[in-house]
Amino acid sequence: MKKTLVAASAVALLALGSGADYLTAGSSNAAPMATYVLLDGSQKTTADLKGRVTLVNFWATSCVTCVGEMPKVIATFDKYHAQGFDTLAVAMSYDPPSYVINYAQTRKLPFDVAIDNTGAAANAWGQVQLTPTTFLVNKRGEIVKRFVGEPDFPELHKLIEKLLKEA
């Protein structure tokens, strides 16, 4: 009985956490403070994201969906970067750094890639465990939308275009 209850609870939590979460207009949901160690050894913080619309993508090289969506993430970055859009790809703590570096170099990822070796960034962003989990952050540093799984890219592009027009 106890195992059944635990399993049912886990399924319910997964169901609640899946899909895209829409945040209501006017609600303030500040992106959590975190420090990211980039592949070149430099650091970036959540505060550095302000002033640009940013896609924060938690991913792993072992995640089939993550690898599958990465060309679309690159295309989105390429399409909007000159207009004030940025991307931060955060590799999960269980992803071997050598795999992440190899993936980023061989795929020529054009945006910042961080390795969350302690899991602190994933925890700060709501204890992210499922990959890919992607957040869209507006210029004010507020989370506008969260996707668990691959985003609907045409819908994402419309939202990015709307956010880029905001002051």
What CATH number is associated with residue 50? 3.40.30.10
Q: Is 5 a member of any domain?
A: no
Percent share of the chain, pLDDT over 90: 83
142, amino acid identity: E
What's the rounded mean pLDDT across residues 25-53? Answer: 88
Give domain status of residue 13, yes or no: no
Query: What global pTM score does this model have?
Result: 0.83
Cα 136 from Cα 100, distance rounded (Å) = 22
Question: Mean pLDDT across the stretch 111-134?
Answer: 96
The answer as to whether 110 is a domain residue is yes
Domain for residue 84, yes or no? Answer: yes
User: Across 92-167, where does the E strand assignment appear?
Assistant: 112-115, 133-137, 143-148
Question: Which domain, by its residues, includes 160?
Answer: 20-165
User: Residue 6: inside a domain, yes or no?
Assistant: no
Q: How many domains does the chain have?
A: 1
